[in-house]
Structure 1
C-alpha cells in the first residue's frame, strides 16, 4: 500500500491540526495513507483527557486543547513532529500496535546515532536513562489515525518546566543535542519515517 510523504516545514499547530481533521473526514477506502513531517511554532497542546493542573504556570506560549490522547506537551522548532494519517482498519492494525510502531521507530532512529533508548508500556513514549525524548499521541476517526509522534532534537527545553510533561510530575526531558548528537531535524526524520513505513508494510503482508 502506497504511503505519501509530505514535508511541511514549519507550521502553526492549529492550521496543521485542522488539515489533519479535514483529510481524515474526507478520506475513503481508496485514499492513500500519508505521513507528514513538520516542525511547529512554540505551543502547548492538551490532550482530550488533559487535566488543567498539569499546566504549572502561565506564559506567553499559547495552549491549544486538542483531540489527541494524552496530557499536556510542548512543541517548538527543533523538535521533529511526524503525523501518521493511516487507515488502520485497512491495515488491520490496533491502536496499541500503531503506538508501538511509532515508539520503535524512534528507538531505531536513536540507535543509528549511538543512543540507547526504550519505550515504556505504562507511560507511552521513548526514554533515555529515564528522561523523555519522544512522545506519542493519536486520535482515531472513521477507522483512521491522525496526530503521531514528536522527538526532541535541538530546541529550547525550558518551557517543559512550565508543565508536568505528559502528566508526570517532575519528569525530566532530554534531546539529541544534549546527548551529544547534532543533526538537522529533517535528516532525523528520514530514519524515523523509514522505520514506520517498513513496519506498516510488514503489517500489510
Structure 2
C-alpha cells in the first residue's frame, strides 16, 4: 500500500484492495503497548495507520481504499465519515441497525464494535482502511483493549444471526463504497 501510494502519479487510477488477513494485532501510530494485554502467539505489527491497537484475522474483511482524495474533494475526516456511512448502509441491507460514534471512529451495533477504521493520508492519497467482522473468532479481542478502549465489546455478523460469505461481503460493501465515492467521479479499480 505504501509503495503503491509513494509511486502514484496524478493520473494513477484509484484502487480498492480486498484482503482477509491471517491472525495479527496491528498497533497504529497513536497505539500504546499498554493496550496489548497479552499478544500470546499472535504477531504484533507496528503500522503507520492512524489509531490504536486492533485485531485482524480470518472471517474479517478489510477494504483498503487507495484514493487520490483531491479527485473527490475529500479530506481525512470526510473519508472516515464516508467509510463509516458505507458500512452502516451495507449492514442496513441485512436489517442490522448500526451507527458511527463521535467519540470513537468505527461502526457499532448496540455499542459493540463491528467495524474498525485506520487510515493514513500521504501526498493527498489515502491508504489503510476499514475492517468489518463477518464470521470470526472474536476471542483475540480479549487480549487487547480494542482501539484503546478497555472492555470494548466487539461483535460480528454471524453473532447477530446474519450469515454472509466473505466474497459476498467484499463485493457488496465495495459496491456501496463505490456508489458513495463515484457520483460523477473517476473510475476506481477493484483489486
Which residue does the alignment assign to 2:125?
144
SS at match of 2:132: strand
Q: Which whole-Å CA distance do the structure 1 matches of 2:41 and 2:177 have between them?
A: 35
The unaligned stretches of length 5 or more in structure 1 are: 1-19
Which residue does the alignment assign to 2:189?
none
SS at match of 1:179: coil
Using the size of structure 2 for normalisation, the TM-score is: 0.94
Deviation (angstroms), 1:109: 1.0
The yes-or-no answer on 1:37 pairing with 2:18 is yes
List structure 1 segments (4+ residues) > 4 angstroms apart after TM superposition: none
Using the size of structure 1 for normalisation, the TM-score is: 0.88
Q: 2:75 aligns with which of 74, 77, 94?
A: 94
Which residue does the alignment assign to 1:3?
none
User: More relative contact order in 1 or in 2 (CA 8 Å, sep 6+)?
Assistant: 2
Deviation (angstroms), 1:191: 2.2
Deviation (angstroms), 1:175: 0.3
Deviation (angstroms), 1:166: 0.4
Q: Which whole-Å CA distance do the structure 2 matches of 1:91 and 1:155 have between them?
A: 33
SS at match of 1:124: strand
The unaligned stretches of length 5 or more in structure 2 are: 187-191
Deviation (angstroms), 1:76: 0.4
Which residue does the alignment assign to 1:133?
114
Deviation (angstroms), 1:57: 1.3
Q: Deviations over 1:127-164 (max 9, x none)?
A: 00010000111001111000000000001100000000
The yes-or-no answer on 1:56 pairing with 2:46 is no
Q: Which whole-Å CA distance do the structure 2 matches of 1:90 and 1:109 have between them?
A: 24
Q: 1:172 aligns with which of 145, 153, 159?
A: 153
Q: 1:118 aligns with which of 81, 96, 99?
A: 99
Root-mean-square deviation over aligned CA pairs: 1.2
Q: Deviations over 1:60-82 (max 9, x none)?
A: 00000000000000000100100
Which residue does the alignment assign to 1:82?
63
